[in-house]
Amino acid sequence: MGKDVIIACDFPGKEQTLSFLDLFKEEKPFVKIGMELFYAEGPEIVREIKKRGHQIFLDLKLHDIPNTVKRAMAVLSSLDADIVNLHAGGTIPMMEAALEGLTRPDGTRPLLIAVTMLTSTDRETMERDLLIKAPIEETVMHYAMNAKKAGLDGVVCSPLEAGKVHEICGKDFLTVTPGVRFADGDKGDQKRVMTPAQAKLIGSDYIVVGRPITAAENPVEAYKRCVREFKDQS
Ligand code: C5P
């Protein structure tokens, strides 16, 4: 595992998603299924995409009491997703319970990664709404360390944080990074972005790319370009 481009399939339903995936004749890209698609279509969409030969990152960001998360993770594990996630804010006992729930009787399990602090939360909101006074970076690194202590495989983070996460949690601790844009592309609503090549240099293990591929005139070419920049250039 490691070093791959994951396409964020942020489509409202099955039809749009499958016709997008039909564009890919030779490649079987790793895809991210988020809340919108999962809640619209249910677990069947995971089975369907899996049956077509794609690896899946199921981005449902679980956060609840440990027992509930453990049981929900057991269900997601049976769907055969390759990566699933949760909020590190659920604390270490919740993350440990999640791992337990995820582990199948034969000892195998999907990779489990944690969302640290959402990038939509800034310092002011953290202080005002969450009463967290520490700087964001310190909080993100602390949450990443908690995820590591709980036995998780990595975190979702900004490509700008990936290097530091590896420094603190080790190079084998996975960094999965959205916020990727081509050098000549539109940033959209992403504020702090990096190109695939820069994300690679800084040590991202997986990049999550949505609109630069899904909204491209030629999505297959855009995907191939992304893979080239992220995987081939050293
Ligand atoms: O279209 P775009 O490349 O911006 O899509 C990025 C994907 O990564 C979206 O599915 C978005 O929800 C997700 N994401 C993000 N920033 C985060 C966490 C997740 O952009 N901090």
Contacts of 220 (CB under 8 A, 6+ apart): 23, 24, 25, 27
Q: Is 211 in the pocket of ligand 1 (CB under 6 A)?
A: yes
**Which atom of ligand 1 approaches the CA of 158 most closely?**
21
Spacing, Cα 64 to ligand 1 middle (Å): 22
Residues of the chain short of pLDDT 50, as ranges, are none
- 38 burial level (CB within 10 Å; 0-12, 13-18, 19+): middle
Q: Is 179 in the pocket of ligand 1 (CB under 6 A)?
A: yes
Give this prediction's pTM: 0.95
Catalytic residue among 14, 28, 51, 61: 61
In terms of residue numbers, what domain contains 130? Answer: 4-231
User: According to the model, what pLDDT value does residue 192 have?
Assistant: 77
CB 183 within 8 A of CB 215: no
User: According to the model, what pLDDT value does residue 233 have?
Assistant: 54
**Residue 5 pairs with which residues in a beta bridge?**
207
Residue 187 known to be catalytic: no
Domain total in the chain? 1
Spacing, Cα 177 to ligand 1 middle (Å): 8
Over the stretch 83-134, which tens digit does the pLDDT of each residue have? 999 999 999 999 999 999 999 999 999 999 999 998 888 899 999 999 999 9
Q: Is 34 in the pocket of ligand 1 (CB under 6 A)?
A: yes
Q: What CATH number is associated with residue 162? A: 3.20.20.70
Q: Is 8 in the pocket of ligand 1 (CB under 6 A)?
A: yes
